[in-house]
Structures are given as structure tokens and as C-alpha cells.
Amino acid sequence: MKTSADSRPLATELSADAVSVSGLVRDFGRFQLGPLELTVPTGYVTGLVGANGAGKTTLLKLLLGLQTPDAGAMSLLGSPVTGANVAVREDIGVVFDAPFVLPDWTVTKAGRAIAPFYSRWSPDLFDSFVQRFHLDPHATVKSLSRGEGTKLMLALAMAHQPRLLLLDEPTSGLDPATRRDLLDLFAEFMAADDSHTILFSTHITSDLERLADHVRVLSHGRLVETGTVDEVLERYAVVRGPRRVLTQQTRSLIHGLHERADIFDGLIDTAHTSGFGPAVVIDPATLDDVVVHLSTTEQEVSA
């Protein structure tokens, strides 16, 4: 997708972190995001994962300057997040869970309306995405299905050839075939240039397992786990067994203990697998296990 005239910096000249957050706080009263320390490395796909209400969308809106933090600092592609930083915004593509263009616009008009805001906008590239996604150029935005609306947002986000994609639940509510197509597109975007980076929020952990290199887990506005996908999975196991084996000591080793009838399950550090005896079953943890069980904890870590 890159053009031969592209004069943007090489990956070696870029910041090691495409996204950096330090001491970030956004207080809504009944909910507070942060204090948050978080980084997203350049050249990788990072999944921002957590239950609904964990703070994922709030974080993305803060990064885009759509909300104002109460404290802390943020940078995108090595530059501070400010409303006047137009040059950095040229390198960022954004997809939220609903179209941000006027509902009565056609697909073609949406592209023409957005084009003047980006110096590298490519009408040919936009048209190629419209064709690839089988969108009717004359269809109005309000007539599009959820999947079609997401595809339009991706076409608008990628037609100006960004280096960083910020995606908020891009595959939520989509059928399996459409989800697969979008994940393929993200993989192509990453393969096209070593400087390309994706930060996408999701609660669909199967998407993370297919695409993500790194994962950041949010729970109740706090960062509770961070690392590469492999690192995170290696840290945990799932323990299941009869409740009679639970003691004060073993309970203290379990993240997100779930008890029902006479059995229990929970997440444990792999270093603690020998502390439960022969009456339990211990299995490798999945990302879904990690998210579900850590979402009930408040153990804060740093990126």
C-alpha cells in the first residue's frame, strides 16, 4: 500500500514505542481510569483487552484528544498528544464501533468529505477498499449493516496511508466471515511496513490469539497484566477441583476464584501449581481465562 514517493521516516528512525502513557488519570466520579502506565511497541499488534466498562474506549478517546485527562502525559509516534499536532494525526487511522460520518452521506461522499483533511489521501486506494469490501459507492451510511459500516470506517482510516491504527472493538458483532476478512486486512497492513503498528481494543480473545503480538489487560480502569501473548500465557494456569481443598493459603494463590456448588476454578501463577495437591486438575490458561479471572482483581502492573 506504500507509494514510491513516501518520504516518511524508516522504522529505525521511529520511537521504540508508538504509544506511551504515563501517570494517566481520567476521573468520572463513579469510574476512574488510571493511574495508568502503558506502552505499545512500534511494529507490533497490541491487543487492549478487558470486560465491557474496563476503560478501553476511554483510553482510546484520550489518546485521540477526544477527552481531556485529569493528570498524566501521552504520546503517539513520539509526539505529545495535543489538539494542534496535525502532523502526527496524518499518520493515525481510527476506527470506532460506529461510523463518525453523516448518516445521509453516500460511501463516495464520505470519502470525498474526509480527503481534504489528509495530505496523503489516495482516492484510488479508497476506491480499492470500497471494491474489496463489496460496498455500494452510492449506498448511504445509514443503510449500511454493522459490518459494512466497519468496513467503510476502515477504508476511510487506511486511505491516507497511516502508520498507526487505533481500533475500538473492530470485529465486535460481526459474522465469522467478515471478522476473518478484517483480520486478514490487519495482517496485510502489518506485513507492508516494519513501522506499522496496531492498537486494538477487544473482548474477543480469539482475535488476539490470531493476530496480537502483545496484550494489555484492563480491569476497572487499571492495567492488571502486560506482556507478549506468549509471556502472559506462560505466567498462568487454570486450577479446578473440589471446594474442600480450599484453605486460606490456597485461596490467596487464586486470581478470580469462582465457586459453585461443590467445585471451584480460578487462575493461578504457574509457580504455584504444586501447592494444591492431587485432588485438583491444572490446565494451561487461555487468554479468555486470563481476562475473565483477572477482571475480578486489582493487581496493578507496569508496562
- Reported as a single tens digit per residue, the pLDDT across 46-55 is 999 988 888 9
Domain 17-220 architecture: 3-Layer(aba) Sandwich (3.40)
The predicted-structure confidence for 192-214, as pLDDT tens digits, reads as follows 999 999 999 988 888 888 889 99
Q: What would the pLDDT profile of 105-145 be if each residue is shown by its tens digit?
A: 999 999 999 999 999 999 999 999 999 999 999 999 999 99
Residue 190 pLDDT > 80, yes or no?
Answer: yes
pLDDT bin (cut points 50, 70, 90) of residue 303 is very low
- Count CA within 13 A, CB hemisphere, residue 47: 32
pLDDT band at 88 (very low <50, low <70, confident <90, very high): confident
CA angle 190, 191, 195 (to 5 degrees): 55
Residues 6+ away with beta carbon under 8 Å from 191: none
213: exposed, middle or buried (Cβ count in 10 Å: 0-12, 13-18, 19+): middle
DSSP secondary structure string, 207-223? HHHHH-SEEEEEETTEE
Res. 86: pLDDT tops 70: no
C-alpha cell at 300: 496493578
Rounded mean pLDDT of 9-14? 46
Give residue 273's pLDDT: 87
Burial of residue 67, with CB atoms counted within 10 A of its CB: 0-12 exposed, 13-18 middle, 19 or more buried: middle
The answer to whether residues 174 and 150 touch, using CB atoms and an 8 Å cutoff, is yes
DSSP 101-126: S-TTSBHHHHHHHHGGG-TT--HHHH
